[in-house]
Chains A and B, each alone.
Chain A
């Protein structure tokens, strides 16, 4: 198609693809950024952003018949509603298989910006508790990096994307370059004090979220307007997305070429020189095939799609998938085991309400197995949640008719305090992705077959988390309504990761300490596929930091003709 050879091709324009493009462009490289889905222009294409419920045909709930036929999987994720439904893939065009007796809800969006449009925006650093875990207990392979390797890149990413949060000086959840935190509600403040009083090692703090509390006007980004409708797209540019942040930065260099509707089928490999040379692309609209060449390739297609792309890229040198001499490609996939740990009513705050919608909840960082392995289970869990007063929808769950019912629903309901558990998922070999070459998707690509189950340790963690959550609420005088230790189906945390893990040993991992393929030195994988363990906090910030770090390294290597 094109005779031009780019310095780098980046596959995928989501959270990591945007960072790869920005970093490589700023290092002086000419970059081609490929996105499989449609273009989504910042502001212009956020079509439902400003609509009220009564301006939508189904009042924000969506047409269940349409959702059943086109979003059979996606509709089960809490971020999808009638405003945001077009950002989630059409399951009828993009089906996948799951192994017998297993479930995996694979939530994703195929469009410019990917899930950076709809993400939960929670940004948490990992600590050496996390990076050292595999090496310590023997599950998975030891990470080839430690906190000190990533810390400066966390600094850079946080400062650029804008993360609001409170410093707490917790070793297990290091502080970062925070913009001013958002405020706790009275119930959350009360719970913070109660938890600190009853449990000296536990901390409730405001969520660390990629929403600006201070504008970045030079980047065209306004401070958060406290709407909490981020997933529709934000014309204020107040939360981090590819569109609001990394893409404009990459574009500003004048060295970025962006192509949407470009589905990468395979990565090309030159066995003589032992290098990748470019990618083969299917134009989504025309179904025509195109080839693009580059001196190096970054895969940022989203963990599972990156794995599948490598698995499709078979050759005589790599009959089992590109960069897979270790045989570990596609294995050790993970997602946090999540569930509603506790829902409760917190009495005594009836004279307090709030104004505005804070686009983050609270977090209770991990507090188990920190200094030493003290519990019967390995690793740990954390909670995210918060306090709020139910609005009108409680009226669908209670008896009542007439004026009194209407009058009751006119005011806010009783304060509720809820905690969702996120438990670390151990890397297990049997949790794996393979390709089903007989069943294709709408682009003609073989479907993924996801084989994933949570193990006994994850179940133990959720059981402990349920008990602890109920205890914290009860000690504070709250009334427990519900608590669960049953994990939501795999994929529900939308933190799917692994499949091309980093490691010290090329016989047991795909990537080295710089996200560089052990087998091919001009191939980099910097999305969630690279993860060797899952920790129990949200992974996106770590993906971004690893991407910025790897891209800086790769650019330097390229300039020195080392790759």
Chain B
């Protein structure tokens, strides 16, 4: 079922993109992008990475659908099989399906992988899990802060500032701007 939906989506996207040369974005592309199948694993990964707090988290912000689309289209150089491969890698490490673990076990395993993914020293016993996670996490974070919730509720989005104040006070309650294009581009 999911495969046939994916094939359909690819066909629609391919045709539309070829016809449009991407100079316009037809409604059909949007419709195809929104008709993304669910992934229980991805939903959990989104919840764990960027949970609901006083603002909605990644899952409620629609990040899973973005991640699936992004993987299909090669964003962040994420391999096309990243989710499937990561699911397998997790199962190998956990001894059972990741989604069948309790939340504490899930967090614990993902924390181990996350630490390894951003550490300079390779952690051999985790296999390719850290590499796959790095790519998937990039897409989750990107998907969240470029969503309306992440970009304009969690952070501040100001399209037309109208002025540049070079020096304004900042404390631990100050929110960053998702519309600080330099701060976003160069991280």
A183 with B166: CB separation less than 8 A: yes
Of A62-70, A451-459, A526-534, the one with at least 4 CB within 8 A of chain B: A62-70
A374 interface hit (Cβ, 8 Å): no
Contacts known (A53-B146, A399-B117, A406-B57); A356 close to B22, Cβ less than 8 A: no
- Nearest-neighbour CB distance to chain B for A353, whole angstroms, equals 4
B17 interface residue per 8 A CB criterion: yes
Q: Tell me, yes or no, whether B15 is within 8 Å of chain A by CB.
A: no
Q: Would you give the 0/1 interface string for A49-76, flagging 1 where the beta carbon is closer than 8 Å to chain B?
A: 0101110111111011110101000000
Q: CB of B3 within 8 A of chain A?
A: no
Encoded as 1 (CB less than 8 Å from any B CB) or 0, chain A from 279 to 321 comes to 0000000000000000000000000000000000000000000
Q: Which B residues touch A358, using CB under 8 A?
A: 164, 166
Interface pick from A149-157, A223-231, A463-471, A542-550:
A223-231
Beta-carbon contact of B75 and A64 below 8 Å: yes
- Cβ < 8 Å to B, chain A residues 383-439: 386, 388-403, 405-407, 409-413, 416, 418
Q: Is A85 an interface residue (CB 8 A)?
A: yes
Known A-B contacts A52-B157, A392-B155; the reply to A57 vs B29 at CB < 8 A is yes
Contact B185 A61 (CB under 8 A): no
Q: B175 and A61: CB pair below 8 A?
A: no
Q: Is A186 an interface residue (CB 8 A)?
A: yes
Contact A65 B183 (CB under 8 A): no
Judge whether B151 and A402 touch: CB under 8 Å. Answer: no
Residue B96 CB within 8 A of the other chain: no
CB pair B168 A353 closer than 8 Å: yes
A residues within 8 A CB of B187? 390-391, 393-394, 396-397, 413
Contact B33 A57 (CB under 8 A): yes
Interface residues on B, range: 35 or more
Among the interface residues B48, B76, B160, B169, which one has the most CB atoms of the partner chain A within 10 A? B160
Whole-angstrom CA separation of A525 from B77 in the bound complex: 43
In-complex Cβ contact of B49 among A64, A388, A390, A401 (8 A): A401
By beta carbon, the residue of chain A nearest B26 is A57
Residues of B within 8 A of A250 (CB): none
Bound together, the chains give a CA A427 to CA B76 distance in angstroms of: 38
Is the C-beta of B182 less than 8 angstroms from some C-beta in chain A? yes
Which chain B residues (43-97) contact chain A, with CB distance < 8 Å?
Answer: 48-51, 53, 57, 66, 69-70, 73-77
Q: How far is the CB of A523 from chain B (nearest CB, A)?
A: 35
* B48–A355 CB distance below 8 A: no
The closest CB in chain B to the CB of A412 belongs to B176
CB of A86 closer than 8 Å to a CB of B:
yes
B residues sitting closer than 8 Å to A (CB atoms) are: 17, 21-25, 29-30, 33, 48-51, 53, 57, 66, 69-70, 73-77, 107, 110-111, 114-115, 117-119, 137-138, 141-143, 145-148, 150-152, 154-155, 157-172, 174-187
Q: A225-B162, A229-B181 are in contact. List 11 more A-B contacts (CB 8 A).
A: A52-B151, A52-B159, A54-B151, A57-B30, A61-B76, A64-B77, A227-B159, A393-B145, A396-B137, A407-B53, A412-B170
Shortest beta-carbon contacts, A-B, top 7: A356-B161, A64-B74, A391-B183, A183-B166, A59-B146, A353-B170, A53-B146
